[in-house]
């Protein structure tokens, strides 16, 4: 099933075929007192050096849980990885002992969180927090770590970094706080940066600044980035490829241009149609009818079928496989071809 995912585009290809990071057929469930919630149901995606993958989906689609599984910071209990592999440079992180995984965190793969205020420790100055990692992981001296922290704060364009290094998180504005968070994540020069809804907690003008910053940093530092978001508008300018998630599965996987031009899954199509557009005024905004599925009772067949305008009997009965379309895209829909041709029109 994994070979059916997209071919790497020439620009992002890694030599010798192996991917920098690859999630293979991951299953995660939350075992709660009310029952088992199947949060991730066979997710596979990969990331090559230097590219940006956007993981798109609404709340509860499992996009953040996948990221937490990659970082190894799932709360378990209740979370439980049932099966699957997470390969980083060919080694499976899930089977590694905790001590080895700890070495990967921060240094190889780092993550930035949605709400920077709660992701920063309120009782320490931001400079201390950035340099803590440097001191404990790199064995830097206090003075060196401080110097490096100022460099990092400059790198993420915090004005007057030297003066603000002693300030506490609550003394920063939302955008500046997110920059501090990014500086912390970059401290150990990770090769992969996972940004979990980095702009959701910010207002629109600041959102654009943070996205630009992330794009610049990714380019300048040569990192690979996984951008988790539910905002299609944020993705377009930054990502190389998009994986759309629904009910713990990747329903569509394509490069940005072809996905925006002609979505091949009814869910993606619905998402794109529900973006407010300036050139279409005075009409009611299109929506996707119905609600996201209850993860304890995922619908039979295609999980999207109760909300799908293309629904047929086969959708209720058969779980669709990833259908490989041209130009290296996949869509988990029985009618992928029709949907794409429909949207292209």
Partner 1 sequence: MSDFETVASSENQAARRGPSGEPGAPNQVGVQKPRSLAGDAWRDLRRNPIFWISLVLVTVVTLMAIVPGLFTANDPQDCVLSRQNAGPSGGAIFGYDFQGCDTYARAVYGSRASLLVGALSALFTGVIALVVGMLAGYFGGWVDAVLSRVIDIVLGIPLLLAAIVLLKRVSTAGPNARITAVIFVLAVLGWTTAARVVRSSVITAKEQDYVAAARMLGAGNGRIMWRHILPNSLAPAIVVLTIALGTFIAAEATLSFLGIGLKAPTISWGQDIDTGRIHMRESSTPLIVPSAFLALTVLAFIMLGDAIRDAFDPKLR
Handedness of CA 337, 17, 87, 155 (dihedral sign): negative
**What radius of gyration, in Å, describes the C-alpha atoms of the chain?**
21
Q: Based on CB atoms, which residue is closest to partner 1, 73 or 344? A: 73
Residue 237 in contact with partner 1, rule: CB under 8 A: no
Query: Least Å distance between CB 68 and partner 1?
Result: 8
Q: 337 CB contacts (<8 Å, ≥6 apart)?
A: 264, 323, 325
How crowded is the C-beta side of 119, counted as CA atoms within 13 Å?
Answer: 22
Handedness of CA 208, 210, 211, 213 (dihedral sign): positive
Residue 60 in contact with partner 1, rule: CB under 8 A: no
Task: Give the sheet arrangement for strand 323-325, strand by strand.
Answer: 109-112, 192-196, 224-229, 52-56, 241-246, 249-255, 329-331, 323-325
Which of 49, 80, 147, 168 binds partner 1 (CB under 8 A)? It is: 168
Residue 132 in contact with partner 1, rule: CB under 8 A: yes
User: In degrees rounded to 5, what are phi and psi of residue 296?
Assistant: -85, -25
Question: Beta partners for 307?
Answer: none
Q: 141 CB contacts (<8 Å, ≥6 apart)?
A: 135
Question: Cα–Cα distance between 247 and 90 in angstroms, integer?
Answer: 28
Q: Based on CB atoms, which residue is closest to partner 1, 47 or 254? A: 47
Match 């300036």 to its residue by tokens: 278
Query: Least Å distance between CB 283 and partner 1?
Result: 33
Provide the 3-class DSSP secondary structure of residue 45. strand
Residue 176 in contact with partner 1, rule: CB under 8 A: yes
Residue 133 in contact with partner 1, rule: CB under 8 A: yes
Structure tokens at 287: 């929506």
Question: Cα–Cα distance between 86 and 25 in angstroms, integer?
Answer: 9
Which of 86, 181, 243, 336 binds partner 1 (CB under 8 A)? It is: 181
Residue 246 in contact with partner 1, rule: CB under 8 A: no
Residue 172 in contact with partner 1, rule: CB under 8 A: yes
Residue 221 in contact with partner 1, rule: CB under 8 A: no
Q: Based on CB atoms, which residue is closest to partner 1, 37 or 186? A: 186
Residue 119 in contact with partner 1, rule: CB under 8 A: yes
Structure tokens at 99: 């001590």
Residue 63 in contact with partner 1, rule: CB under 8 A: no
Please say whether the beta carbons of 86 and 166 come within 8 A. no
Query: Least Å distance between CB 332 and partner 1?
Result: 30
Which of 46, 63, 105, 241 binds partner 1 (CB under 8 A)? It is: 105
User: In degrees rounded to 5, what are phi and psi of residue 307?
Assistant: -110, 0
Which of 2, 100, 136, 300 binds partner 1 (CB under 8 A)? It is: 136
Residue 100 in contact with partner 1, rule: CB under 8 A: no
Query: Least Å distance between CB 173 and partner 1?
Result: 5
Question: Cα–Cα distance between 311 and 123 in angstroms, integer?
Answer: 54
Q: Based on CB atoms, which residue is closest to partner 1, 197 or 240? A: 197
Question: Cα–Cα distance between 161 and 166 in angstroms, integer?
Answer: 9
Query: Least Å distance between CB 186 and partner 1?
Result: 11
Query: Least Å distance between CB 159 and partner 1?
Result: 5
Query: Least Å distance between CB 9 and partner 1?
Result: 29
Residue 124 in contact with partner 1, rule: CB under 8 A: yes
Query: Least Å distance between CB 35 and partner 1?
Result: 20
**Where does 107-141 have alpha helices with state H?**
116-119, 126-138
Residue 113 in contact with partner 1, rule: CB under 8 A: yes
Which of 27, 36, 89, 137 binds partner 1 (CB under 8 A)? It is: 137
Residues of the shown chain interacting with partner 1 in the complex, contacts defined by CB under 8 A: 71, 73, 77, 102-107, 110-111, 113, 115, 118-125, 132-133, 136-137, 157, 159, 163, 166-168, 170-173, 175-176, 181, 184-185, 187-188, 205-206, 209
């Amino acid at each position: 099933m994994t070979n059916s995912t997209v071919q790497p585009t020439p620009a992002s290809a890694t030599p010798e075929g192996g991917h920098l990071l690859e999630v293979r057929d991951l299953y995660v469930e939350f075992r709660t007192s009310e029952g088992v919630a199947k949060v991730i149901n066979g997710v596979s995606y990969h990331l090559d050096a230097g590219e940006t993958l956007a993981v798109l989906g609404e709340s509860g689609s499992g996009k953040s849980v996948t990221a937490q599984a990659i970082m190894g910071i799932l709360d378990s209990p209740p979370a439980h990885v049932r099966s699957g592999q997470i390969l980083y440079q060919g080694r499976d992180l899930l089977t590694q002992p905790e001590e080895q995984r700890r070495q990967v965190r921060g240094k190889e793969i780092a993550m930035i969180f949605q709400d920077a205020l709660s992701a920063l420790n309120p009782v320490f100055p931001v400079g201390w927090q950035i340099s803590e990692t440097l001191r404990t992981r790199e064995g830097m001296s206090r003075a060196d770590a401080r110097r490096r922290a100022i460099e990092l704060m400059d790198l993420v364009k915090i004005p007057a970094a030297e003066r603000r290094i002693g300030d506490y998180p609550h003394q920063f504005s939302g955008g500046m706080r997110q920059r501090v968070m990014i500086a912390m994540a970059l401290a150990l020069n990770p090769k992969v940066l996972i940004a979990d809804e980095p702009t959701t907690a910010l207002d629109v003008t600041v959102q654009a600044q943070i996205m630009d910053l992330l794009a610049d940093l990714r380019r300048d530092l040569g990192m690979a980035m996984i951008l988790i978001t539910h905002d299609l508008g944020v993705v377009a300018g930054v990502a190389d490829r998009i994986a759309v998630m629904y009910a713990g599965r990747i329903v569509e996987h394509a490069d940005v241009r072809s996905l925006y031009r002609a979505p091949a899954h009814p869910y993606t199509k619905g998402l794109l149609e529900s973006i407010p557009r300036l050139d279409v005024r005075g009409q009611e905004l299109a929506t996707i009818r119905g609600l996201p599925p209850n993860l304890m009772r995922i619908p039979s067949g295609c999980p999207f079928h109760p909300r799908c305008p293309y629904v047929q009997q086969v959708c209720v009965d058969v779980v669709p496989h990833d259908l490989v379309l041209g130009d290296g895209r996949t869509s988990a829909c029985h009618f992928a071809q029709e949907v794409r041709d429909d949207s292209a029109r």
